[in-house]
Structure 1
Amino acid sequence: MHRSKLFAACVAITVPALALSGCGVLGIGQAPADLQIYSARHYDLEGAFADFTEETGISVEFITGDDAELLERLKAEGSEGPADVFMTVDAGNLWNAARQDVLAPVSSATLEKAVPEDLRDPEGQWFGLAMRARTLTYNPDNVDPAEFDAQDSYAGLADPKWKGRLCMRDATSSYTQSLVASLIDLHGRDKALEIVKGWVANDVEIMSNDILLLEAIDAGACDVGINNHYYLARTLVEKPDLAVDLFWASQEGAGAHVNISGAGVVANSDNAAEAQQLIEWLATTGQNAFVDANHEFPVNPSVEPEPVIAGFGEFSRMPLNAKAYGDLNAEATELLAEAGYK
């Protein structure tokens, strides 16, 4: 059964609307893997999965693609699909997957202990596995961090003193949309709109990716940006003299905005027990293997972060509301357009 399902999945990859990659097509006579992972998290997977296979004897293959494409594929394939685990890179996507009945509830004392309550589904349909913070970055030659609003650092960037000094990501970025969704959840729509309009009034320069944003800050083209912490960590490894420092946002208020990569057991999995075992391993023994190469924070509070990001210091985070990230995404997109944010 599983072999025929896998073949159907590989054939379906050629459909233009579901243009996915990384099918892991089996060679002639080769046995199918024990677990099939549909993953929108496409970086640094191989090492962690290889370690899992070595420790457990459970083989893994994965298909990578966009979050929305993979979710639509799971729904279209239904009971005939090969997927055992759905892995995605945004809490809102995990929430939507659970709402659309493609994930199975899991009861696991291991996961309940390893994953903080707000980083997992209350019904056990998904669990956060890696955490990223989206916080302020700045050029220390041009900015005194005492200038930042420690109570509400994101709103503080709407202050006119930052006019002509800001770089941020584009409105189409899921990072921007999730941040604005969290501001709507935290402040209400009217206040969130006021904040974003303030960024626009400050002539924010829009960048297409976080690396360009960091390079602009380093070059003095802008003084302050909002970045995922791990992009700064990656760049510092390559360029230790980078003139960019990190400021943990809103430490006297709600805390820094965070998001997660996470996973759930697919409702139609033929291998639910092994799928659960993989997710439990990724949240415990395999946490460092899963997060360290990309400089992400472990969700498991008993696991130490790797040295580069540990050097950024401890921080308080904004509680994560996955429902808000999912339900408010469309409103966040509309708000960005209304504010004139490109």
Structure 2
Amino acid sequence: MTVTRTLVAAAAMTLPLAASASGDVNIYSYRQAYLIEPLLKAFEKETGIDTNVVFAKKGLAERLEREGRNSPADVVMTVDISRLNELVERDLVQGVDSPVLEQNIPENLRNPDGKWFALTTRARLIFTSKDRVKEGEITTYEQLADDKWEGRICTRSGKHPYNIALFSSMIAHHGEEWTEQWLQDLKDNLARKPQGGDRDQIKAIAEGVCDVSIGNSYYYGNMLQDKNQRPIAEKVRLVFPNADGRGTHINISGIAMTKSAPNRENAVKLMEFLSSPEAQRIYAEANTEYPANPAVKPSGLVAEWGDIHPDSLPLQTIAENREKAVKLVDRVDYDGE
């Protein structure tokens, strides 16, 4: 019988993974256990290959650096393009040449050299009050800078990776000078100093603190599935920005193979399995996300939101604009009073 061995929280940073060269697949994960354990059980059932997992909230890149070529980790599962690109920049991952992965994952959702692959996508949406904002009154990210929204917008910190990725995409589409002015105007429209997480922005709309916010689609989905938070989520309307133009900005969860990977062959099998229709459905439904494999249609709540027209901008381009975006956030003092 196959078993997923799990090390969590503080233990993840001190205990070694078992069976580092036994043929198991060893995983370092920033993703929570409930999201990936159903996937790993399905993989083990199909292949007979055991998996061992270290879950952590931070520090996995540093751990890989310390362990060097002796690291037992085969793959890293994480969220946000900046975290995946950090692994590349620190030279902690290797390229994977797999026709299966190349067929299942679109080119704009994978590293050009195969050093990371998207597994799910999430849209960076605009949320609006159903009571105080008319349907169709705002339809693009660019309109967040309009004077009509002065004192009416809430966001989390401008330096959060999800916002940095959005700002990076704006640089790619409009250039640095334009994006700096847009950021300044967006800051001028804030109802309060940036704070909290994406769910807190939805709560702020429900409480009347602001009328418009920015947030990831899956947070809204998760709130709808929580009986206590559902009444709050139902007070806002989803807007898929730029749907009639270049498309809505998306970010990803993804996977990368470590440079040390002692069980490379089985690690490739895991990566390929995770891109398969079966795994894509399991993974996307677990957190109300979109499958990265375009052959797999959204289901459940996500399907109810209608078709998404995602921005086709390569995620690698967004990663390359990250430092520029961070500098712009500092320059306009986005998180300041």
TM-score normalised over the length of structure 2 = 0.88
Which of the residues 126, 142, 151 maps onto 1:136? 126
What runs of 5+ residues in structure 2 fail to find an aligned partner? 1-6
Aligned: 1:339 with 2:327: no
Equivalent residue of 2:293, what SS?
Answer: coil
Aligned: 1:257 with 2:245: no
Which of the residues 293, 298, 303 maps onto 2:291? 298
Aligned: 1:173 with 2:160: yes
Q: Is residue 166–residue 225 contact of structure 1 (8 Å, CA) maintained in 2?
A: yes
Which of the residues 83, 87, 110 maps onto 2:73? 83
Return the offset for 1:261.
0.9
Q: Is residue 92–residue 323 contact of structure 1 (8 Å, CA) maintained in 2?
A: no
CA distance in 1, matches of 2:289, 2:23: 28
- Residue 301 of structure 2 corresponds to 308
Matched to 1:196, the amino acid is: L
Matched to 2:308, the amino acid is: F
Q: Is residue 157–residue 196 contact of structure 2 (8 Å, CA) maintained in 1?
A: yes
- Residue 109 of structure 2 corresponds to 119
Residues 87-96 or 117-126, more deviating: 87-96
- Residue 280 of structure 1 corresponds to 272
Return the offset for 1:156.
0.5
Return the offset for 1:324.
3.2
1:203-250 CA-partner distances (Å, limit 9, x unpaired): 343231111111111222211111100111111122444211101101
Matched to 2:120, the amino acid is: A
Aligned runs of 1:1-342 on 2, under 5 Å? 21=12, 34-43=24-33, 44-66=35-57, 69-148=59-138, 150=139, 153-205=140-192, 206-238=194-226, 239-241=229-231, 242-284=234-276, 285-342=278-335
Return the offset for 1:129.
0.3
Matched to 2:32, the amino acid is: H
CA distance in 2, matches of 1:22, 1:312: 39
Residues 158-167 or 103-112, more deviating: 103-112
What runs of 5+ residues in structure 1 fail to find an aligned partner? 1-9
Matched to 1:313, the amino acid is: G
Matched to 1:180, the amino acid is: F
- The number of residue pairs the alignment matches comes to 321
CA distance in 1, matches of 2:266, 2:23: 12
Residues 43-52 or 138-147, more deviating: 43-52
Return the offset for 1:33.
7.7
Pick closer, same or farther for the CA change 1:129–1:174 going to 2, 3 Å. same
Equivalent residue of 1:216, what SS?
Answer: helix
Matched to 1:335, the amino acid is: L
Equivalent residue of 2:118, what SS?
Answer: strand
Pick closer, same or farther for the CA change 1:66–1:58 going to 2, 3 Å. same
Return the offset for 1:66.
4.4
Matched to 1:46, the amino acid is: E
CA distance in 1, matches of 2:29, 2:15: 13
Equivalent residue of 2:164, what SS?
Answer: helix
Equivalent residue of 2:136, what SS?
Answer: helix
Q: RMSD of aligned C-alpha atoms? A: 2.4
Return the offset for 1:340.
2.1
Residues 193-202 or 102-111, more deviating: 102-111
CA distance in 2, matches of 1:20, 1:92: 25
Q: Is residue 168–residue 225 contact of structure 1 (8 Å, CA) maintained in 2?
A: yes
CA distance in 2, matches of 1:35, 1:267: 14
Pick closer, same or farther for the CA change 1:324–1:65 going to 2, 3 Å. farther
CA distance in 2, matches of 1:271, 1:33: 6
Q: Is residue 111–residue 316 contact of structure 2 (8 Å, CA) maintained in 1?
A: no
Equivalent residue of 1:169, what SS?
Answer: coil
Q: Is residue 191–residue 209 contact of structure 2 (8 Å, CA) maintained in 1?
A: no
